[in-house]
Amino acid sequence: MMLSIGQAARLLGVTPITARRWTEAGLLPCVRTPGGHRRIAREDVVELSRAIGDSNQAAVRKAREGELETLVAASIAVAVELDQEALLPEIAKHVTVLCRCNTCAISSYSADDETLTVLADYDSRGRRTPTAGRWDLREYPATAALMQEQVPAVFNLDDRRVDPAERAQLVRDRVKSNLIVPLVYQGRSIGLLEVQDAQRSRTYSRQELRLVSALAGHAAVALHNAELFRAATSVDAAMRSLHERMATVAQRVRAVSEPAGAAGAGALSGLAGAAGQADPLAVIATVVRDSFDALTVTVALDDTVAAAATAPAEAGAVESRHREAHVLTSAAGTPRGRLTISVVMPAAASDGESDLLEMTTAFAALLSTYAGESAAGGAPATTA
């Protein structure tokens, strides 16, 4: 039920001027009608009246101002931090202060498979606890509903109405109360704050829930920005690594493409002509294996394997990595047949790695063409 300023003032035992001043100071939350009039929820009036109780208004005002100052400080702190590893304890520290609780767990949410993954769990001193894991929300229907409704809720151990799965979790965590606040970004649930009290059951006021929800909103934006920053940093690192690997491929292949002792060398036609000279395709197989941290690399001409390289690891370790292996292939045509390079990797290839393999395959095809013509006593064809 929404009340006017006059109605709220009568319930609080103050003048309308005082009630209006309290709304301006943030002590008494209100909304505005299209005509600009203040409207106040009856629950907020009752809550403020209970807070005043036997205390004087100055004490209540000071307490409310302290809460708002904490929220502002927390919002600024999380807004300027882009590194997720530094952001998580910052969020937890301010949440535990704001809610006067023992620990704060922060999780990411995947709507695709309805799972929560614990990112970190911190105590009120900012120390990280070993809590970790992934939780299937289909086993926790009450929490799943909150993620859909995007509203906070409190689960207390002594509440007989608490969902059995939530009660079991409270027992496992050895806490008496758990406040769950969804992290929402642009209307989408991206994670969860869990505020736990190990000493007592809790009943949070509307003002406290508003404050922690506001902080959760700032935290959601900060976590989203931190993820974008992490992804951008990862791309930069991947590009630097890819550039280094491309340089390595070029340098090592160039080393075998210039026969030792050949004056004015650089002619690719000498690659396979001299006795004892390294096979360029074998060199490429080795370079690709090292550059891609591959398990195995094979270079084939049509259906015949021309060269291969295997990771220098113990057989058991290689076999174990093969269980989760990914295969990346690239092919190019040559006068000697279709040249294919197949790379067995312990992880899925990135777009940059696919591009690198394509460039390496094209270069290998060129080397194979020159090497084959040199072995046959011919010369590479030229065009005017």
Tell me which of 233 and 7 has the higher pLDDT.
7
| CATH of region 273-375, choose from 3.30.450, 3.40.50, 1.20.950, 1.10.287 | 3.30.450
Q: Is the pLDDT of residue 372 over 60?
A: no
- Asked if 152 and 213 count as a contact pair (C-beta separation under 8 A), the reply is yes
Residue spans per domain, the chain? 1-53, 55-229, 273-375
- How far is 312 from 106, CA to CA, in rounded Å? 41
Identical fold at 1-53 and 273-375?
no
User: How confident is the model at residue 379, as a pLDDT?
Assistant: 44
Q: How far is CA 130 from CA 118, 121, 122, 211, 340, in A?
A: 10, 7, 9, 28, 47
- Asked if 225 and 91 count as a contact pair (C-beta separation under 8 A), the reply is no
pLDDT category at 167 given cuts 50, 70, 90 is: very high
The CATH architecture annotation of domain 1-53 reads: Orthogonal Bundle (1.10)
Q: Positive or negative, the Cα torsion across 199, 201, 203, 204?
A: positive
Q: Mark out the alpha helices in the chain (DSSP H runs).
A: 5-12, 16-25, 42-52, 57-79, 84-99, 141-149, 164-173, 206-257, 280-291, 315-322, 351-375
Would the pTM of this model clear 0.75, i.e. be above it? no
Q: What are phi and psi of 121, to 5 degrees?
A: -140, 125
Enter the tokens of residue 361: 């395959």
What are the DSSP calls for 299-362, one per residue?
Answer: EEETTEEEEEEE-SS-HHHHHHHHTT-EEEEEEEEETTEEEEEEEEESSPPPHHHHHHHHHHHH
- Mean pLDDT over 146-156 rounds to 90
- Asked if 107 and 146 count as a contact pair (C-beta separation under 8 A), the reply is no
User: How confident is the model at residue 260, as a pLDDT?
Assistant: 44
- Asked if 175 and 197 count as a contact pair (C-beta separation under 8 A), the reply is yes
Using one digit for the tens of pLDDT, what is the confidence trace for 331-349? 998 887 899 999 998 888 7
Edge-to-edge strand ranges of the sheet holding 115-123? 134-136, 115-123, 103-110, 188-197, 177-185, 153-156
Using one digit for the tens of pLDDT, what is the confidence trace for 170-203? 998 889 999 999 999 888 898 898 889 988 888 8
Torsion, CA 18, CA 22, CA 23, CA 28, rounded to 10: -120
Q: Is the pLDDT of residue 271 over 60?
A: no
Using one digit for the tens of pLDDT, what is the confidence trace for 288-298? 888 788 889 99
- How far is 237 from 168, CA to CA, in rounded Å? 43
Strand partners, 361: none
User: How confident is the model at residue 262, as a pLDDT?
Assistant: 43
The CATH architecture annotation of domain 55-229 reads: 2-Layer Sandwich (3.30)
- How far is 92 from 109, CA to CA, in rounded Å? 17
